[in-house]
Amino acid sequence: MRVSSTSPIHAEDGAALIQVAVAILVLAGFCAFVLDQGVMLLARAQAQNAADAGALAGAIARAFDETTDPPAAGGLAETSARLAAQANQVGDASGTASVNVLWTCPTFATAARCARVDVFRDGTNGSTPLQAYFANLFGITSQRASASAVAWATGANSTNCLRPFGVVDNWIENGPATNNLVGEFDSWIKVGNNASKVMTPDTYVPPNATSTGTGYTVQANLGAEVLLKGGNNPNSSAGAVSPGWFLPLQLPDGNGGYVSGANDYSNAIGTCTGAIVTIGQYLPTETGAMVGPTSQGVDALVAQDPNATWDISSQAVINSCAPGCAAFSPRIVPIAVLDIDEFQWRSDANDWTTPWIPGQGAQAGQPGSGSSFSCPIGGRCVRVTNILGFFVEGMSGGQDVHGRIVMLPGEFATSGTGLTGGASFMTAIQLIR
């Protein structure tokens, strides 16, 4: 029996509808995958940006604005972290993200000051989930996105903007005694062509990774008024060394050499050389007292932010051109702290080749850091034991530099010496998770 061609079994009417329906279903699936998945991935990236921004803002505030540990609830650090995170939109504008701020550090960073920011757009912690579009066809009505970031504020040990001032550190005064005057650092005395330890020497212990030594500390000296006493000739014996006594230094030029001379020295006060200097590094001294170039360089530096002043009540710089002109006032600069015990011995003994052992000296028969020692370009040099932030207020008496000790950003170099937090005035801010 032959089946008629008009049989419904072979009729093609409506076949296209079936194909279109299947195609629509497949296309809807692709759209859900592409559009809704794209929305979720974009929101995740936005949430991560918000968390990163909040964590960095919180760490910066912990380093420079609110140093108590942990910060106060609703204080500057928490407010900074929260506002920075909330300034970043997460997902569409129909919903809201929520932000949690914590101060816990990962186990590998327990000694640092951390800021952790969690950002939610997943329906938890007071947030609203992301809207679903084509996925609604498959019963999926919402999507979720969240992110977390941790930043730390940790002690830095290097800077590329060091200014050519090498100032003496704090010491323990053990005078008055034979060859030891109160108010001056007396550890060594010149005897003929040698240096001899005074009978009752003053004590200087440089800071290290576990101790602040006898030097400047954040707790005792942050905001302190300091007069850098110039006019000292690096080519003479150390002479009378009083608090604030400083030497003019030569800084690396970034090409294996050092900037030297009146013009270079003056310019190095007003601008960055761009070359890294680390704690523990030796720097050559200038060939003279550099009184005139010091005044010229300081005047040029002050002119970069002429209205900035130090506010005693808030212990901060006010009326600065920052942040419009720079991240912080151009008059906040890093300056080196030198090992005056080593320099006084080398200067009085005129010995610039014997290795020095920090905390022990250069006594005969002791092993040094190597079989020999020499300053970077020969001649005289000083060892950097710390780097301070210094707000330059101006010149005083024609040769002295007046200012305040402050915190400032820095970098961490594996070749440098790390300091305990109590002695570190430079802070490195980094995302660590």
Compute and round to an integer the Cα radius of gyration of the chain: 32
Q: What are the structure tokens assigned to 113, written together?
A: 């000051």
* Least confident range of 111-115, 388-392, 407-411: 111-115
Give the pLDDT score at 392. 97
CA distance 391 to 272: 15
Neighbours of 149 (CB within 10 A): 24
The pLDDT confidence band at residue 239, using thresholds 50, 70 and 90, is low
Q: What is the pLDDT of residue 315?
A: 87
Provide the token pair at 272. Answer: 């960055």
Q: Is 103 helix (H, G, I), strand (E, B) or coil?
A: coil
Strand partners, 229: 245
Q: pTM (2 decimals)?
A: 0.78
- pLDDT value at position 311? 94
pLDDT average, residue stretch 75-101: 88
Considering only 156-160, 292-296, 352-356, which range has the smallest mean pLDDT?
352-356
| CA 276/CA 241 separation, integer angstroms | 28
How far apart are alpha carbons 402 and 231 in whole angstroms?
14
Span 2-26, average pLDDT: 61
Residue with tokens 């730390």: 152
Dihedral sign for Cα atoms in the order 32, 33, 34, 36: positive
- Let me know how long the chain is: 433
Q: What is the mean pLDDT of the chain?
A: 86
Lowest mean pLDDT among 5-9, 209-213, 357-361, 411-415: 5-9
DSSP H or E stretch at residue 117: strand 113-121
- Pick the more confident residue, 335 or 77: 335
User: What average pLDDT does this structure show over 104-109?
Assistant: 84
Output the six-digit token pair for 191.
Answer: 């005897």
* Inter-residue contact 374 to 380 (CB < 8 Å): no
Alpha carbons 59 and 55: distance in angstroms, whole number:
6
Structure tokens given for 72: 């106060």
Element of type H or E holding 215 = none
pLDDT of 5 > 80? The answer is: no
- Is the pLDDT score of 94 beyond 80? no
Give the pLDDT band (50/70/90) at residue 364. Answer: very low
Task: pLDDT band for 160, please (50, 70, 90 cuts).
Answer: very high
Mean pLDDT of 21-38: 64
CA–CA separation, 131 and 122 (whole Å): 10
Report helix angle 262-270 to 291-303, nearest 10.
30
Stretch among 138-152, 210-224, 278-292 having the lowest mean pLDDT: 138-152
The DSSP call for residue 341 is H
With a cut of 80, say whether residue 75 has pLDDT above it.
yes
E strands, 316-361, in order: 316-318, 332-338
Task: Report DSSP letters for 31-100, one per residue.
Answer: HIIIIIHHHHHHHHHHHHHHHHHHHHHHHHHHHHT--SSSPPTTSHHHHHHHHHHHTS--S-TTS--EEE
